[in-house]
Amino acid sequence: MGYETSFTKIENELTPDFRDRMKGAEGVADVQKIYAEFVREMLSRLTGAEVVLDEGDVRVDPEVEGGIVLGPGITQNPDFHKFFERSDLPDILRRQGQHAANKITHLDGHSERDQAKIFPRPNRRG
Going residue by residue through the chain, which has 126 residues, state the pLDDT in tens, using 9 for 90 and above. 566 889 999 999 999 999 999 999 999 999 999 999 999 999 999 999 999 989 889 999 999 988 999 998 898 888 888 888 889 999 999 999 999 999 999 998 866 555 555 556 566 454
Domain-by-domain residue ranges, the chain? Answer: 8-118
Choose among 37, 95, 34: nearest CA to 66.
Answer: 95
Q: CA–CA separation, 100 vs 58, rounded Å?
A: 12
- The model carries a pTM of 0.83
